[in-house]
Amino acid sequence: MIPWEILARVKVPGGGEELSLHRRGHEYQIKVDKSLLMSNLAHASEESLAKIGLSRLVNAKKSTVLIGGLGMGFTLAAVLSRLGPESSVHVAELVPAVVEWNRGLISHLAGHPLRDPRVKVLEADVALVLKNARGAYDAILQDVDNGPRGLTVKSNDWLYSEAGLLAAASALRPHGVLAFWADKPDKKFLKLVRKTGFEVKEVPVRGRDGHRGAHHVVWLAFL
């Protein structure tokens, strides 16, 4: 069996956790400390986040979308495939090295989406982006962590709090949508989303090819 090769390691800014990029043959993985965060062989649910999150767009030909978390670029690529040439996509990524990996070592995995002229990379915490945006986005897709109980950075928990949800609501334009990827259902979080004024749907998705792999969910919220 081909052994795993560690391609890069980096500390998460402000968190102390270590992100590492691994390769074995044609398989790539990103881990946080020793826990698997994502793999290029299981990215169907990230693409589902784009499909579900953009399903309620009023005008896909000309929209502005914010993606929280770059990952391996699969969500970004799926978003770009659903938007017109006059649209723009902002990607907020906390870890500069992840952006570097997506421009180099793993850029081919999702088809080099960072080369698309519609993309603007924000090397910043998506929470800070939300706090400084008012009525800027038609859709916000959050793929920064595993859900309300963060795995990567503890500060990500704010995004799932009442304050974080209200900030997202303020950053949306009329008829805007907010979507989250999560590793499992969470009734408490759904209750909080409704409390902040959103309608919300929980959609089950699969990790591979839409029909195989781990069971995850996408939460679709709209005002």
pLDDT band at 223, cuts 50/70/90?
A: confident
Classify residue 213: in a domain, yes or no.
yes
**Is 8 exposed, middle or buried (CB count within 10 Å of its CB: 0-12, 13-18, 19+)?**
middle
Classify residue 188: in a domain, yes or no.
yes
Classify residue 82: in a domain, yes or no.
yes
Q: Which residues contact 78 (CB under 8 A, 6 or more apart)?
A: 46, 47, 49, 50, 51
State the total domains in the chain: 1
**Is 136 exposed, middle or buried (CB count within 10 Å of its CB: 0-12, 13-18, 19+)?**
middle
Alpha-carbon span 222 to 53, nearest angstrom: 10
Count of Cβ atoms closer than 10 Å to residue 203 Cβ: 16
Classify residue 37: in a domain, yes or no.
no
pLDDT band at 151, cuts 50/70/90?
A: low
pLDDT band at 56, cuts 50/70/90?
A: very high
Q: CATH number of the domain at 68, please.
A: 3.40.50.150
Classify residue 31: in a domain, yes or no.
no
Pairing of strands 172-182, 212-222: antiparallel
Classify residue 158: in a domain, yes or no.
yes
Mean pLDDT, to the nearest integer, of 38-63? 94
Classify residue 16: in a domain, yes or no.
no
Q: Which long-range contacts (CB under 8 A, 24 or more apart) does 199-205 make?
A: 199/223, 203/48, 203/52, 205/44, 205/45, 205/48, 205/49, 205/52
Say what percent of the chain tops pLDDT 70.
Answer: 96
For residue 158, give its domain range. 43-222
pLDDT band at 152, cuts 50/70/90?
A: low
Classify residue 23: in a domain, yes or no.
no
Amino acid at 121: V
